[in-house]
Amino acid sequence: MRQNRSIPAAIVIPVLVYPDVREAVAWLEAALGARERVRIGEGHRAQLSLNGAAVIVAEPGNRRVAPSGGVTTHMVMLRVDDAHAVCERAREHGARVLMEPTDFEYGERQCELEDPFGHRWSVTQTIADVAPEEWGGVTVNGGHDHPG
């Protein structure tokens, strides 16, 4: 795949609509450790790096609306090294914790957050390498993430 410095290198890039792009960038940096990499206009869009991944924050308009909170229309999963620490940091910055960090049989410790703007985040920390068959999942196509 060709590189372009004007877009994040990630293969999948969530574009999240926030009512105020600058306020959202400040919150994502403070609460989740994101880093702004490209600003497009003062309040139009911003590209952020987030734990080796990417997210784009966009303003409402052109049939895009920000979530209203209280319902789940989507969720962004963020892999981290310490789910407890990220959960507490986000709470300190106004996130509503919907599920405290919980260990699951599939080898992940996860918490669920709703940021102050209504977006849902699933924060996940790998605590063990567990085969899907050990908890009732099924490995498909050899379990490969890439074709071939």
pLDDT of 110 strictly over 80: yes
Identity of residue 88: E
Say if CB 123 and CB 133 are below 8 A apart. no
pLDDT computed for residue 144 by the predictor: 62
Residue 146: pLDDT band (50, 70, 90) is low
Question: Over the stretch 74-98, which tens digit does the pLDDT of each residue have?
Answer: 889 999 999 999 999 999 999 999 9
Tokens of 130: 């567990």
Domain boundaries, the chain: 15-137
Say if CB 67 and CB 19 are below 8 A apart. no
Pick the CATH number of 15-137 from 3.10.180.10, 3.30.470.10, 3.40.50.720, 2.60.120.260: 3.10.180.10
What secondary structure letter does DSSP report for 92?
H
Find the farthest-apart pair of alpha carbons in the chain and give their distance in angstroms, rounded. 49
- pLDDT above 70 covers a percentage of the chain that reads 96
Quote the pTM value. 0.84
User: Which has more pLDDT, 92 or 141?
Assistant: 92
Q: Where are the beta strands (DSSP E) in the chain?
A: 15-17, 35-40, 45-50, 53-58, 76-79, 96-103, 108-114, 120-126
